[in-house]
Amino acid sequence: MSKIDPRDRMIVALDLPSVTDAQAMIGKLGGSVTFYKIGMELVYAGGLDLVRQLSSNGKKVFLDLKLHDIPNTVEKATQRVADLGATFLTVHAFPQTMKAALKGKGSSSLQILGVTVMTSYDDSDLIEAGYAMGVRDLVAHRAQQAKIIGIDGLILSPEEVGSMRALVGSSLTLITPGIRPKGSEKGDQKRVMTPGEAISAGADYLVIGRPITSAGDPEAVANAVVDEISSVLG
Ligand code: C5P
């Protein structure tokens, strides 16, 4: 497994309704968190400036925008995201979209992550949407295409990480949400793993939101997650 600091492997999802709430959470977490995920909710509430602020304060940002549009639009949008200083950007794992995003990132340090199949989809949703294969096959198909196209990494559910690591090898960065430290509420996540289990299964990075942001002492939970990651990595 690549040499990434255990603390940098924990990405805290700032799924909060306003920039003020997000800034308060970042303040509470202090030095315990080095990597944040900013998604559509916060971006549409004015969170893009926060990407710049966090980047210039030495934090890393995963911008979860799940881009999908015609190649020219994806390429230009990716160029602008690279200018913001983000580390990761998500796009839907369609070949045209992935190729356009890779072109757009150019020589910047931005890494493009493919979302294979949304975890809210099951086989019947794919049939309804006109696909001729089930979730498992479509995830594998897209992961293989993503690797050939040269994408930097993939977002996967915890239960897909092990088989996808075997399929794509060590060249792709694998990131998983659905992380729940022992004893924490599952909320709406159905298939979860503990931080240690997900790292052992082959994940490079973990996305974790509510177990940290809804905790009475977010900093203590963040530090406990990092300790668990460190103990698995030895
Ligand atoms: O609060 P929680 O730990 O469940 O947050 C997980 C984060 O990962 C959320 O931002 C959620 O949108 C995101 N995510 C997910 N499952 C996916 C893709 C993204 O939970 N398949």
Question: Is 181 among the domain residues?
Answer: yes
Ligand 1: does its nearest atom lie under 6 Å from the Cβ of 207? yes
Task: Give the pLDDT score at 153.
Answer: 98
Sign of the four-CA dihedral 56, 153, 161, 136: positive
Task: Give the pLDDT score at 1.
Answer: 52
pLDDT digits (tens, 9 = 90+) for 179-190: 999 888 888 777
CA of 149 to the centre of ligand 1 (A): 25
Q: Are 180 and 210 in contact (CB under 8 A)?
A: no
Domains: count for the chain = 1
**β partners of residue 90:** 113
Query: Given a cut of 60, is residue 54 above it in pLDDT?
Result: yes
CA of 74 to the centre of ligand 1 (A): 23
Question: Is 212 among the domain residues?
Answer: yes
Average pLDDT for the chain: 95
- Residue 88: which of 116, 121, 106, 65 has the closest Cα? 65
Question: Is 78 among the domain residues?
Answer: yes
What is the CATH number for 95?
Answer: 3.20.20.70
**pTM of this structure:** 0.95
Ligand 1: does its nearest atom lie under 6 Å from the Cβ of 154? no
Question: Is 1 among the domain residues?
Answer: no
Question: Is 204 among the domain residues?
Answer: yes
At 221, list the tokens: 């939970």
pLDDT digits (tens, 9 = 90+) for 74-90: 999 999 999 999 999 99
Range of the domain at 175: 6-233
Question: Percent of the chain beyond pLDDT 90?
Answer: 89
Question: Is 91 among the domain residues?
Answer: yes
Question: Is 152 among the domain residues?
Answer: yes
Question: Is 13 among the domain residues?
Answer: yes
pLDDT digits (tens, 9 = 90+) for 106-160: 999 999 999 999 888 899 999 999 999 999 999 999 999 999 999 999 999 988 9
Q: Considering 28, 66, 103, 147, which one is annotated as catalytic?
A: 66
